[in-house]
Amino acid sequence: MSLQTLHKFHRLGQLADSTFESQLDKLNVTARQAHLLGTIQSNPGASQTFLVEKTNVDRSTLSDIVRRTTKKGLTKRTRSTKDARAYNVTLTSAGERVASEVSKIANRITDDLLTAAKALGVTVRN
């Protein structure tokens, strides 16, 4: 791969990030909040400890993100019935809608990136 091609991929990544962020702004969520919502959607009722492991976000930051998404009405936090020290997190109906929209946005951007990669003559495998 040439340096010019590598630069084009770098620029495509920047554009994808910028596009993703601007679309998330319309949903009033940050990229980290969107990532958390998607993880909760895939793992309903997961503990905060599990979400820390799945998202690779440290415990205190994840707790803050959950607090903020709860304040926005996107998540609900309840004490675990198995461990009174632990919290389980679920999406509210509004959180489900936002998570679904985020997924659609991410899929569109991914499709655009794959199309651009193909135009550059690069084959991408999943």
Which CATH number characterizes residue 41's domain?
A: 1.10.10.10
Is the pLDDT at 33 greater than 80, yes or no? yes
Q: What pLDDT band is residue 113 in, cutting at 50, 70 and 90?
A: confident
N- to C-terminal Cα separation, the chain: 19
Would residue 21 count as lying in a domain? yes
Domain that holds residue 50: 3-119
Of 23-32, 75-84, 105-114, the range with the highest mean pLDDT is 23-32
pTM of the model: 0.83
| Per-residue model confidence (pLDDT) at position 61 | 96
Is the pLDDT at 11 greater than 90, yes or no? no
Would residue 125 count as lying in a domain? no
**Average pLDDT value for the chain:** 91
CA distance 72 to 120: 41
Cα–Cα distance list, 14 to 9, 30, 116 (Å): 9, 16, 13
Cα–Cα distance list, 102 to 6, 78, 83, 86, 92 (Å): 28, 24, 31, 27, 15
| Per-residue model confidence (pLDDT) at position 126 | 63
Is the pLDDT at 74 greater than 90, yes or no? yes
CB 89 within 8 A of CB 45: yes
Could you tell me the strand order of the sheet in which 46-47 lies? Answer: 46-47, 87-91, 75-79
Domain count, the chain: 1
Q: What pLDDT band is residue 119 in, cutting at 50, 70 and 90?
A: confident
Would residue 109 count as lying in a domain? yes
CA distance 77 to 69: 10
